[in-house]
Amino acid sequence: MGVLKILKIIGVVAVLIAVGVGYFLGQDDADHAKAGDCLKNNGTQISPDLQVVECGGATAEYKVVQVHQDTLDTAKCENVSDIGYQEQSSGGRRSSGKKFVLCIDKIKK
| Per-residue pLDDT reduced to its tens digit, 32-77 | 899 999 999 998 888 888 999 999 889 999 999 999 999 999 999 9
**Contact call for residues 61 and 83 (beta carbons, < 8 A):** no
| Residue-range domain boundaries for the chain | 29-106
Q: CA separation (Å) from 90 to 3, 12, 54, 71, 99? A: 40, 27, 27, 14, 9
pTM: 0.68
